[in-house]
Amino acid sequence: MVTFTINGKEVQGQKDWTILDVARWEGIPIPTLCHHPAVEPYGACRLCVVEVDEGRRTRIVISCMYPVKEGIKVRTDTPRVQNVRRWIMQLLLDESPASSYLKELAKSFDVKPSRFQKAGVSFACHLCGLCVRACQEVVGIQALTFSNRGLKKEIASPLQMGSKDCISCGNCLYVCPSLGMEQLYARMRA
């Protein structure tokens, strides 16, 4: 067992647990987007950041991947942590200001769409990659994938055609937190 503190409270976790695992176990809330218990952590949304005092230095890490260590001091609600989370919410919300799911989430951060919000978009895929990971890790095939990079990055069916590997299991539809998957799912099965 590894012993450390979260927000001053002494907690314990197994050696291969992450901070998020322990926090969930203890009922300490940490917001997440790209995390899902059925697949390996991926570390893309960065909403789950926490501040860790490792003794030598204090830094911001993502709780869904950071393995617990003896004696560390974790804080889940410092100004630095809040600043990162608030900006991530702001950026996401401006990408899809009409998404009810994001609007709901944004409320708890007191974030509203800004002057940079995109017009005419009801939802946007935020590339959490749950579909791709579920397809690969749960179903065991790779029918869909990330394509491109940077701002052009998207989830795609290979060669922009129907995917010959897709078995129409619908797992990707099920895990998708936005409404992004429906169109693509239809396309993959074409």
Partner 1 sequence: MQITTLTDLEAVKARGLAQLYPEKPKILVGMATCGMAAGAQRVLETLQKRAQQLHWDGAVEKTGCIGFCYEEPLVDLIIPGQPRLTYARVDQEFAAEMMTAVAAGTVPEENFLARLDVDDMILDGGPRRFYEGALSGFVAQAPRYEDLDFFKLQRHLAMRNCGFIDPDNLEHYIARGGYFALHRALTSMTPEEVIEAVTVGGLRGRGGGGFPTGVKWASCRKAKGWPKYVLCNADEGDPGAYMDRSLIEGDPHAILEGMLIGAYAIGSTEGYIYVRAEYPLAVKTLQRAILTAREAGLLGQNIFGAGFSFDIKLNLGGGAFVCGESTALMASIEGRPGEPRAKYVRSVEKGLWNLPSNLNNVETWANVPLIIAKGADWYREIGTEGSKGTKIFSLVGQVKNVGLVEVPMGVTIKDMVNLIGGGVPEAREFKAIQIGGPSGGCIPRELWDLPIDFDSLWDAGAMMGSGGMIVMDNSTCMVDVAKFFLDFLIDESCGKCIPCRLGLKRMRDILEEFSSGKGSLADLEELQSLSEAVQDGALCGLGSSGPNPVLTTLRYFRDEYEAHILGRRCPAGVCKDLITYAINQELCNGCMACVRECPQGAITGEKKQPHQLDATLCIKCGACFEVCKFGAVEVS
Partner 2 sequence: MSISFKSLETILERHPPSPEHLISALQDVQARFHYLPKEAMTAVCDHLGVPVSRGWAVATFYKSFSLEPQGEHGISVCMGTACHVRGARNLYDKFRRDLGLPGEEGTTRDRKFTLRQVRCLGCCSMGPVAQVDEEIHGNLNQRKAGQLIKLYRKR
> Residue 119: what residue type?
A
Q: Which of 144, 172, 176, 181 binds partner 2 (CB under 8 A)?
A: 144
Q: Which of 6, 50, 52, 62 binds ligand FES (CB under 6 A)?
A: 62
Q: Which of residues 104-143 bind partner 2 (CB under 8 A)?
A: 141-143
Residue closer to partner 1 by CB (options 82, 183) is 82
Instruction: Tell me what percent of the chain is helix, strand and coil, each rounded to the nearest 5.
Output: 35, 15, 50
Buried b (16+ CB within 10 A) or exposed e, 171-183: bbeebbbbbbbee
Query: Two tokens at 16?
Result: 């291969």
Residue 17 exposed, middle or buried by CB count within 10 Å (0-12, 13-18, 19+): middle
Chain centroid, CA 12 distance in Å: 24
Cβ 42 to ligand FES, closest distance in Å? 7
Task: Report the chain's terminal Cα–Cα distance, integer Å.
Answer: 51
Cβ 160 to partner 2, closest distance in Å? 8
Query: Two tokens at 55?
Result: 């003794």
Distance between CA atoms of residues 58 and 39, nearest Å: 29
Cβ 36 to ligand FES, closest distance in Å? 9
Residue closer to partner 1 by CB (options 43, 162) is 43
Segment lying near ligand FES (by CB under 6 A), choices 9-17, 38-46, 162-170, 180-188: 38-46
C-beta of residue 28 within 8 angstroms of C-beta of residue 12:
no
The partner in contact with residue 48, picked from ligand FES, partner 2, partner 1, none with C-beta cut-offs of 5 to 8 angstroms by kind, is ligand FES
Query: Two tokens at 187?
Result: 């396309």
The partner in contact with residue 35, picked from ligand FES, partner 1, partner 2, none with C-beta cut-offs of 5 to 8 angstroms by kind, is ligand FES
Site residues (vs ligand FES, CB under 6 A): 32-35, 43-48, 62, 64
Which residues are near partner 1 by CB under 8 A? Answer: 43-47, 49, 60-62, 65-67, 80, 83-84, 86-88, 91-92, 94-95, 116, 126-127, 146, 148-153
